[in-house]
Amino acid sequence: MRIKANGKEIEIPEGSTPRDVALQLHLSAPEQAVAVTLNEKLVDFNAPLHEGDFLVFLNFEDPKGKEVFWHSSAHVLAQAVLRLWPAAQPTIGPAIEQGFYYDFGNLSISDQDFPAIEKEVEKILSENLKPERRELLGKKEAREAFANNPFKCELIDGFSDEPISSYSQGEFVDLCRGPHLPSLNKVKAFKLLKISGAYWRGDAQREMLTRLYGVSFPDKKKMKEYLQFLEEAKKRDHKALGIALDLYSFKEEAPGMPFIHPRGLIIWNRLLDFLREALQAANYIEIKTPMMMSQELWERSGHWFHYRENMYVSRVEEREFAIKPMNCPGCMLFYRGQIHSYRELPLRVAEIGHVHRFEASGALNGLFRVRSFHQDDAHLFMRPDQIQEEILQILQFADKIYSTFGLPYRLELSTRPEKSKTIGSDAEWENATNGLKGALDAWGHAYRINEGDGAFYGPKIDIHIRDAIGRYWQCGTVQLDMALPEKFDLTYVDSDGQHKRPVMLHRAIFGSLERLFGILVEHFAGKFPLWLSPYQVKILTIADRHAPYAHALAEKIRKRGLVCDVDESSESMGKKVRDAQLLKTNYMLTVGDKEIEENTASLRTRDNIVHGAVDISDFLAKVIKEKEERALMSPYSTAP
């Protein structure tokens, strides 16, 4: 029979499987054929094939390939743990962005046990087991198969009537929908990374589990590169750098709610100034809506019924109020407060709103996952014929913002989920999706399509920025919403005098200001470009008698809008330089007798290059231009 495999038509015998086709195509290397799609659906390698089928083999570099590879590795981890601690109770073991984890009940171990686990993993991999799928007849059979594991039984009870499956590899059997690697010898490098506690199903009222994190690769070179990446990421950890640079802190009295320090506020305000300047240039208006609003509002928006557990609620004068977890409903009230003409559209309304969301304490992570944060939301109201142009302008807006930080990005378009789970007509979805896709095509950048991954209320574009060490962060989003204009009965008066429903776009570029702050700390490793830097210039005195000149020079520099500090301590010059460098100071100016006499300063840049005597006026002209242009590179250095 004939099928297509990786775009080529091939002849295969009756009864063939994807495993047979992979061998025929010589896809036997560890990084090749780690997963396979059959007619666009992920399947196992022993799935039956039929005339006309379409196969695509995925390698390790494909995101779906990585997911299968790492999920299979999580099963290997669970098997190793059970061999060493048979009383442990496996719960779930998903692939995550960088590797995988597995949660265990009834397991008390530490990182000192990692070598023993890794040794057992090596033994399992050497056995070259082939994961095998078995479909169970229903919940009754599934519960019998996992009767000794209450966590698995709870999962089974929550399943719908769809087929329930398990996977086995040797003596190990796990509840799993799959698919898995064709054989475990694809895994050539495996390492445990860390151990932590985790509540069952993320509920602080439930059992505390032991979570083991790991990563695996199809060759040892990739593992070595990844471990080097982790070392670099550790050096850039924004939590440690934030303390070292005195930018922000976290207190037990306000978990998940960062304290921004004076130096951190310099960066914060520069980010806001930059954003507001861009908003003004793009013809946005800015509003500010109340922090707390009534239960009735959140019922109307739907948050009360679907997001209540993440909201902070208070009772005032016999009425329920909630601190806003997002800005959208407040903007709907603003729009509805006036009669709008088609001539006003598009109306671009921005709000840098302070929102609060309850996150489990175990999920909190510095500035990356907080309970209190600021969103740079905007809601754009328009006619249907304006969708494509508005999205194109948002993409241009985002490009300007991200390129200023030196952040490349990728775009992803998420389309309509299963029709029964969405609102709006087929025509509305088609028009909305075509508007987003048309804008992306007109923009001319490559983009991915995530079929069925849109929101229930409309399709969306997500923007993932890439930092200096190659990590992607989802910050920007453009979402077309057909729900809120309907719920809040928003209208405009069209040219024919009829009241019509506007199309509305949500958009965010920074996303969370706190999270972007943390990303930038790590992206720049604390070495901010001058315009963002909280330590722009430091003057170092050689002796006490040079202090008056240093302070006069500092005042002159501050009057030009730069942050300037003076170190007139009695420490050695070497110590003063090291202290300034630890604070990632952009420019160090040393002053002594000669500099006072010549009205100059000796310049040292952050990359530790000594430039010698500089004319103060010339220095100021260069660095002020650097600041005003928001340059990423110093005019005195090849390094930022």
> Which sequence positions are flagged as catalytic?
328, 357, 375, 377, 379, 460, 506
Residue position matching structure tokens 């985002």: 398
Backbone angles phi, psi at 194, to 5 degrees: -165, 170
Point out which residues pair with 199 in neighbouring strands.
Answer: 208
Among 187, 271, 319, CA closest to 520: 271
DSSP tag of 336: H
Place of tokens 């260069």: 622
Q: Quick one: tokens of 612?
A: 């010698």
Other Cβ atoms within 10 Å of 403 Cβ, number: 12
Give the 3-state DSSP-derived string for 491-547, with helices as H, strands as E and coil as C. CEECCCCCEECCEEEEEEEEEEHHHHHHHHHHHHCCCCCCCCCCCCEEEEECCHHHH
Q: CB of 467 within 8 A of CB of 237?
A: no
> Whole-angstrom Cα distance, residue 299 to residue 436?
29
The one-letter code for the residue type at 512 is S
Q: Which of 107, 115, 114 is closest to 85 using CA atoms? A: 107
Q: How many CB atoms lie within 10 A of CB 302?
A: 14
The token duo for 325 is: 């977890």
SS3 172: strand
Please list the alpha-helical segments (H only) found in 378-456. Answer: 387-404, 426-443
CA dist., res. 287 & res. 281, Å (int): 16
Q: Which long-range contacts (CB under 8 A, 24 or more apart) does 241-244 make?
A: 241/521, 241/522, 241/525, 241/526, 242/366, 242/367, 242/518, 242/521, 244/526, 244/582
Residues 339-342: contacts with CB under 8 Å, at least 24 apart: 339/493, 340/381, 340/491, 340/492, 340/493, 340/502, 341/492, 341/493, 342/383, 342/492, 342/493, 342/494, 342/495
Other C-beta atoms closer than 10 Å to the C-beta of 421 total 9
Helices (H) and strands (E) in the chain, counts: 19, 33
Contact 344, 491 (CB under 8 A): no
Count the Cβ atoms, other than its own, within 10 Å of residue 281: 10
Give the strand order in the sheet containing 2-5. 8-11, 2-5, 54-58, 35-38, 41-43
Please say whether the beta carbons of 637 and 524 come within 8 A.
no
Q: What are phi and psi of 437, to 5 degrees?
A: -65, -40
Helix axes 387-404, 262-281, angle to 10 degrees: 150
- Structure tokens that stand for 633 in this block: 């590179």
CB 571 within 8 A of CB 579: yes
